[in-house]
Amino acid sequence: MLSSVVLEAQTDITVRKKDFKKEREGFREAWKHVNAGDSYYIVKGVYYGSAYDEYLKAVAYNGVNPELNYKTGVSALFSDNKEEAASFFMKALELDGGLTKDILLLGGRALQYAGRYSEAVEKLNAYLDSPGKKPKESVAIAKKYLEECNSALQVTRDTLRIDIRNLGSNINSNADDYAELLSADSETMYFASRRELSKSSTKYDDSRFDENIFLSSSSSGSWTYPVTLGKKMVTDLCETPLFLTPTGEELYIYAGYENGGDIMVSERKKGKWKAPSTIPFRINTKGSETSFTFTPAGNEVWYVSDNGKEGLGGKDIYYISKLNERKWSKPVNAGPSVNTPYDEESVRFSVRGDTLWFASRGHSTIGGFDIFYSTRNQNGEWGNAVNFGYPLNTPWDELFFHPSQGNDSSFYFVSNRSEGMGGLDIYSGRILPPEPVIIPVEPPKPDTVVIRDTVVVIKEIVPAPEPAPVVPEPPKEEILYLIGTITDSETGEPVLAKIDVIDLTTDLVVGTTASSDADGTYRIKLPEKKSYMVDLRASGFLSDMKRINIPATYANEAYKLDATLIKVKVGKKVVLNNILFETGKSILTTGSYTELDRLAGILEDSPLMRIEISGHTDNTGSLDLNNRLSQNRAQAVVEYLVQKGIDRARLEFKGYGPQQPIADNATAEGRKMNRRVEFKILEF
């Protein structure tokens, strides 16, 4: 799924036996290692790691052979030993500066991996300035590495305080492990791995196995050993997880071969994942689509493709927008603020949807793929890409940034950096608060007082020492969770529902989770104490919205919101709360708009639903007046919905006056309940 490094060693050189031999003792064994290394070395791109291991043993016998140092450096550079490569190239240059035409280019790249950026710039410039004709591709690569090193000199000036940790052997292996996805409750991780499953696993020409999807569960702060998703998800294709819906019931994946693949979707039924099927979006092409995500609001799909007609080069990021319940726009290139002539990958959104994280080999990368972010302004425009910074980004590859649910300072990402367990590994990261700055204060110099008299007396007035500065501890993070249970309004059974928390100040989704299908419970972290709208949606149920107001003085760690959802079925009647009219009239007051907007949203979500709006009164006043008033009020609701874009053909209205009471008209409370507006489901 991921593109490979384009740099290659362009020179085949031979370690000559007569030049290699120093003394008899140890020569025969060392020469065996040279031959063994050569047998791996000639299979370019596959066994460089094995070649490095053999050459390293030969170097122990003769470390001053320029050809051997060159081949050891090449083997290190194109394996997981990149940081070791620089010393061998520099030794080869010292021994024979004109050994090969590409040694300055390869040496510069190796110095870049070692973080020796100034030296790398020197070697890369020397390569570009060296006499003789050079391959165009090599010149372009050298200039690209030069840009990356200059970026690194800028980016690494401001080091971020980040706690970075490898997730360990329960998640990572000596193969590539990447594309991590977390469930809404952060307790399940899906990821791709190229580890060997069995002796029959498909092996590619890069000596790696095909990609399969694994999952692991969080238990007591650690991750369990991963397992596959079942037989139907283990195929001859390469599969990579890309997007998990908040309910955890749909998993969008990349499925294909090394030279191309498409986005597909798998559904989980009764706890088992079904075989992947075609997605309902026209984004797959003859090329390869390797990344996919919804925006938190669900109104856009963002993805990566290498086959767009309007591409800027390599793999680009595209998006489609939801036009209505059944139709999506044509693909749109995300533009030069995000895309470059190089590859972009692994698109992810912040919980609020106003920040896009992605990986790129362009922009101001300091080497390979770096993680960047772009923010969307109030006009919907995306700003220029910003490098996340060092030490998250390195000369190695960093991709698949995954923010933690409800916590902007914690995240996961993937890297093939040298301290890993092999290939790409999954890491966790946490941004630490700035270190307190303690400014030393010099004690004031003593004042000298001279008293003039017949006798001169000199006294030093020494001020009392200042107390040491007190550095306040950083305030402890206040954690607040929204918890509750979602159930069926009729049966009380648990409901699997998607839950979006919307900040009423910004109108942005700040958190998304799902209730458990086992007991209906949910938990989601809230960013702060304030007012939110909680949007509840479940398949086969009417959506609902609940407003919560959490005062700044709220002292508990959890705010509870239980809710019941109404199952959709023909003939079902639902009372609309807070539908208010001017006294004795059919004119809606502004206090009714929130509930009616919710009803409009239900109808938009269910385009096949037809309903009847009914008006009802108490038994006070004449029957004729009440019938006409209830009819007019029902019609007023219909007109409001039509103004909101609902097709009039889907709406009927009728006034029933006092003829269908739901409470006793003998009491004031009963009469208040009878004065209502309902809707009844006619078709679904």
Q: 486 has which bridge partners? A: 563
Inform me whether the pLDDT recorded for 97 exceeds 60.
yes
Cβ(249)–Cβ(297) under 8 Å?
no
Note the pLDDT of residue 434.
75
CA distance 446 to 636: 86
Residue ranges and CATH numbers for the domains of the chain are 17-155 (1.25.40.10), 162-431 (2.115.10.20), 480-565 (2.60.40.10), 573-683 (3.30.1330.60)
Residue 111 CA, distance from chain mean position? 31
Inform me whether the pLDDT recorded for 484 exceeds 70.
yes
Q: What is the largest CA-CA distance in the chain?
A: 120
Distances (CA, A) of 569 to 199, 258, 574, 609, 611: 52, 47, 11, 10, 11
Peptide bond before residue 391 is cis, with ω within 30 degrees of 0: yes
| Residue of 234, 155, 153 lying closest to 193 (CA atoms) | 234
Note the pLDDT of residue 202.
57
Structure tokens at 82: 């990149």
Note the pLDDT of residue 342.
93
Least confident stretch, 209-213, 442-446, 513-517, 603-607 = 442-446
Provide the b/e sequence for 6-34 (b: ≥16 CB within 10 Å).
ebebeeebebeeeebeeeeeeeeebbebb
Mean residue pLDDT across the chain = 87
Note the pLDDT of residue 246.
85
pLDDT tens-digit series, residues 239-255: 999 999 988 889 999 99
Note the pLDDT of residue 451.
45
| Residue of 222, 215, 224 lying closest to 253 (CA atoms) | 215
CA distance 160 to 391: 7
- Give me the amino acid identity at 477: E
CA distance 30 to 47: 19
State the pLDDT confidence band at 2, using cuts at 50, 70 and 90. Answer: very low
Cβ(514)–Cβ(246) under 8 Å?
yes
Cβ(179)–Cβ(241) under 8 Å?
yes
Note the pLDDT of residue 617.
93
Phi-psi region of 556 (alpha: psi -120 to 50; beta: other; left: phi over 0): beta
Neighbours of 475 (CB within 10 A): 7
Helix axes 117-129 and 103-113, enclosed angle (nearest 10): 160
Name, in order, each residue with C-beta under 8 angstroms of 523's C-beta and a sequence gap of 6 or more: 185, 481, 482, 483, 513, 558
